[in-house]
Structure formats: C-alpha cells, structure tokens
C-alpha cells in the first residue's frame, strides 16, 4: 500500500512540472548618444542576431578630449574585447585577451639638472641689533567673594526606630 501511495505521489510530481520552451534568439539593435551639460559624451550601440551573437561598442569622451572606446563581440567562443583609448599613462597591451590600443602621448623624460650652490652677497652691510626683552609676568590677587546660602527653617532630626530593628 505504501509503495502505491509513493508511486502516485511521484507521478503527480512529474506530471505537474512544466517544460519551459525557449524561443530562438530574435535579432535586435539599439543605441544611444548623449552629451551632458559639462561636455561629457557617452555612447553605446549593440546588435544581436539569430545565432545569439552580440556585437557592440560603448565610449566615453570627456570635455578635455580624453576618450575610451570599448568594442566587443560575445558569441559561442566567449567575450572578445578591444579597447581604444588616448588616456594618459596607458600603453598598448594584450592582458587577459583584452586588446588595449593606446594612442596616448608619451610624457617627455625628466631632465636631470645638477644645481650648484649660489652665493648671494648683501648689497650693503647693515648691523643687526637684537633687542632683549624682559619676560612679561602677570599677577592677580586671588580673592573669592562669599556666597550666601539660604538654610531651611525646618530643624533636622534623626530618630532610631527600635521596633523595626529587632
């Protein structure tokens, strides 16, 4: 009897589950281009095809002309990215399969300057007079005025109650 109940519960559990059917990927395309009041420009565009391949880019350009553009492809092989930038301090490289193409201007190498000591002579000899000042001392008379204190008119009395102390 127990096995029949268990079998019925199993059949009901399997029958109640819904099979989720995913439709094939639908092609799409979107993009935007926005510039704020400070002159910073942000853009993005992306397309997706029926094979679920995503291709797109996004970029940032600040008011001073520093820009970064990221181009990417996401497909069955993985996520592939190329970064194009002119940000100061960046160099072209390929870390972790992310190709970075930098067009940043190299800063000039620092120039070493060997400074020699400079002797400066006074135009006119002037005697220096140091005034010796006596230390200033402050003294005050310490006088404290008496503070009037009002005493209560009720007398203070203490009593011992012998009935409770036994």
Helix ranges (H only) for the chain are: 2-16
- Residue 65 Ramachandran class (φ > 0 left, ψ -120 to 50 alpha, else beta): left
Q: Give me the residues of the chain with pLDDT under 70, please.
A: 107, 122, 136-141, 147-166
In 3D, which of 85, 54, 83, 86 has the Cα closest to residue 71?
A: 83
- 57 close to 45: Cβ distance less than 8 angstroms: yes
Q: Check residue 150 and give its pLDDT.
A: 62
Task: Specify the pTM.
Answer: 0.53
Q: Check residue 75 and give its pLDDT.
A: 93
């Amino acid at each position: 009897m127990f096995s029949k109940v268990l079998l019925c519960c199993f059949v009901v559990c399997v029958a109640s589950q819904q099979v989720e059917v995913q439709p094939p990927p639908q092609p799409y395309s979107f993009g935007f281009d926005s510039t704020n009041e400070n002159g910073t420009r942000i853009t993005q565009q992306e397309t997706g095809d029926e094979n679920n391949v995503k291709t797109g880019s996004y970029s940032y350009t600040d008011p001073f002309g520093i820009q970064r553009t990221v181009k990417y492809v996401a497909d069955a092989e993985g996520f592939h990215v190329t970064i194009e930038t002119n940000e100061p301090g960046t160099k072209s490289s390929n870390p972790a399969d992310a190709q970075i193409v930098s067009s940043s201007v190299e800063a000039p190498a620092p120039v070493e300057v060997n400074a020699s000591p400079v002797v400066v002579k006074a135009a006119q000899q002037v005697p220096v007079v140091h005034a010796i000042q006596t230390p200033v001392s402050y003294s005050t008379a310490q006088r404290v005025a008496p503070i009037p204190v009002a005493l209560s008119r009720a007398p203070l009395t203490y009593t011992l109650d012998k009935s409770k102390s036994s």
